[in-house]
Amino acid sequence: MRFSFWFELRGPARLWAASIVFTVVGVFLVFGFSRFFTMGDQDAFPLLSVRILGSVFLVLGLIVLAPMLASLFVVPVDRAAWHWWANFIGGLLGALTFAVPATLMFPIFLLAYLVRPNILFPVDSVDTTKNLGIAALFSLIGLVTLIATIVLARLKLRQDPKRED
């Protein structure tokens, strides 16, 4: 067994399953979640957070589902290339969905700290260094993930089935 930094969904059945699951979870989180939980006006932020997360799942699911649906109308010889690209783009966007916001955590927290009081730094907040330290750690992890994603995407792009060396 060989160690790999990425997990490739091989075969159309797995791509179909992943895209449908992501889309269904996204639709539930965006449209159906609020029906199961009643929240007051003060709890609007958690519901908004869940809807944003659901939107991410929905968009990622649809981005993979669209080329999978289009592959039904492609010549069977080219289907493998369509599936490879759906897998590549879905994986790349999934990794960037974490890496980009995580990289921006420290600048956002620093800006919120400078214009306090706000939801992140209320008036009675005494220990702000802990919040800024965690945000800096998140930004560092996000930056490492972003660089690793770019490097791995370039390596993976060399395996494009239609690429001619």
Burial level of 62, CB count in 10 A (0-12/13-18/19+)? Answer: middle
What pLDDT, in 10s, does the model give residues 41-64?
A: 556 677 778 888 889 999 999 988
Taking Cα atoms as reference points, which of 133, 129, 131, 137 lies closest to residue 102? Answer: 137
Neighbours of 57 (CB within 10 A): 21
Q: What is the pLDDT of residue 24?
A: 93
What pLDDT, in 10s, does the model give residues 71-102?
A: 888 777 777 788 888 888 888 888 899 999 99
- The ranges assigned to domains in the chain are 12-157
Look at the pTM and tell me if it is higher than 0.85.
no
DSSP, res 71:
G
Which residues, 6 or more positions from 99, have their beta carbon under 8 angstroms from its beta carbon?
142, 143, 145, 146, 149
